[in-house]
Amino acid sequence: MGCFRCAGKSSKKSNKHINRSQKTNKPTVADKAKFDSNVKGKKEDSSPKPDQLSLDVKHLNLKEVSNEGKVNCYKARTFTFEELVVATGNFRADCFLGEGGFGKVYKGHIEKINKDVAIKQLDPYGHQGIREFVVEVLTLSLADHPNLVKLIGFCAEGDQRLLVYEYMPLGSLEKHLQDLPPGSKPLDWNTRMKIAAGAARGLEYLHDKMKPPVIYRDLKCSNILLGERYHPKLSDFGLAKVGPSGDKTHVSTRVMGTYGYCAPDYAMTGQLTFKSDIYSFGVVLLELITGRKAIDNTKSAKEQNLVAWARPLFKDRKRFCEMVDPLLEGQYPVRGLYQALAIAAMCVQEQPNMRPVVADVVTALNYLASQKYDPQIHSAQRKGAYSPSTGSNSHGHRPGNGSVSRARSDAHGQSTNSGHETKFNSQVHSAHSSRNGASSPRMRSNGHSSGSESESSTKSLSSSRLRSDGHGHFASNGSDSDGLGD
């Protein structure tokens, strides 16, 4: 616009000069045509400046996440800062939704698209910056999945950087687990498994479906947003990183993420793999089961770190019920609890090559989410817990509703985990439907058992694993395990 205004002012001066010259030499038709072509030529030469996002990508050298540097392919629309000021009523206090590492988030309504939106404004003094803003725009512009939050648009104008998302009316998972307002109803077991399965599907899309594949790097409860009927969506992709390709097994990068969710192998070496996300997911699943925070400094030293607190409990089935969120008030399926704990235990193993691939986590959790628990039907569930001595099932499931076969560690149903008094294969069941014969999910990893103490508890909890070879070994999937393990 500035170039055009300059051309207009120049045109007026030229007209005055022509009027003076009319006293002596009257301009011909050819002269007028020549003048008009000169003015038009100036307009055509004034090519528009590149948009701010393209300049940011060029400046930050982010070609690897921008479709080889071509940022004109992004699907998100651009908004002016003035439009977003209007949408939020000049960022009124009553529109404020929350604040994170990126900056403050406001609810707004954009008239031209007639939608309620969430607008995140970059704090120039915050923990994240323009790089995270650009990565978020580029990542979500290439993504399309029902379990990823939708980026509607963005604003990159001067020093202002804002992101415009679809509005998620139920807020974050963290709000419903750890920051539950007084009098609010806690999440029931079915909803928790639904959220876990949906979050896993979103992660699977990033790892296995996106081109190039993406490592999330910041999976945590506060980044799982909930829509109508508690439909979960992953959000906040500012720390996302393109995963390793070809013969590379990892991406070397500075350690970033959230304490308590960050995989120990990544924290120690800076080597980022897809299995780093699996560890974070395991922490989230433990939070869903226990209602505890990943890090809680209000608890005693032994209980402050959720994973460190849970590991010894994984070894003793008599204490599994101690791990359940007290807010559930005993309303959960014992069998489902054991299977959910098995998934979580495998995800948080210290050795990355012993963690399952995300596709197997999705399969297992989809199955758990499909097994609806009804507290009215299973009112005798507390009496029906498995007997520690016999492992018998008496918790109220009707025989015709689904037969259950026990998960085994070897071909003869014996556990290969020597040295532990209790064996998980008498507790966790790889259930299958007696009606359709569909086998229950089992988890697989890409490593073999080493027998070490750090792995033995999670080995015993791995009874619900996928495609076990029947001899206590984990079957490799031939892709993620070979290409991404450390």
Alpha carbon distance 22, 16 (integer Å):
10
What residue type is 12 in one-letter code?
K
Alpha carbon distance 121, 106 (integer Å):
8
Residues 6+ apart with CB under 8 A from 83: 110, 112, 155
Contact between 466 and 360 (Cβ < 8 Å): yes
Annotate 81-133 with three-state secondary structure.
Answer: HHHHHHHCCCCCHHHEEEECCCEEEEEEEECCCCEEEEEEEECCCCCCCHHHH
32 marked as part of a ligand binding site: no
In this structure, what DSSP letter does residue 349 have? -
Contact between 210 and 144 (Cβ < 8 Å): no
Strands 151-157 and 77-78: parallel
Burial 60-81 (b: 16+ CB within 10 A, else e): bebeebbbeeebeebebebbeb
The verdict on whether 218 is a catalytic residue reads yes
Tell me whether residue 483 is exposed, middle or buried, using C-beta atoms within 10 angstroms of its C-beta: 0 to 12, 13 to 18, 19 or more: middle
Helix, strand, coil shares of the chain, percent, nearest 5, are 40, 10, 45
What residue type is 326 in one-letter code?
P
> And the tokens for 194?
């639904």
Q: From residue 311, how far is each of 214, 215, 277, 303 by CA, in Å? A: 29, 26, 19, 11
Catalytic residue among 94, 123, 144, 218: 218
Active site positions, annotated: 218
Q: Which residues are annotated as a binding site for ATP?
A: 120
Annotated binding site: 120
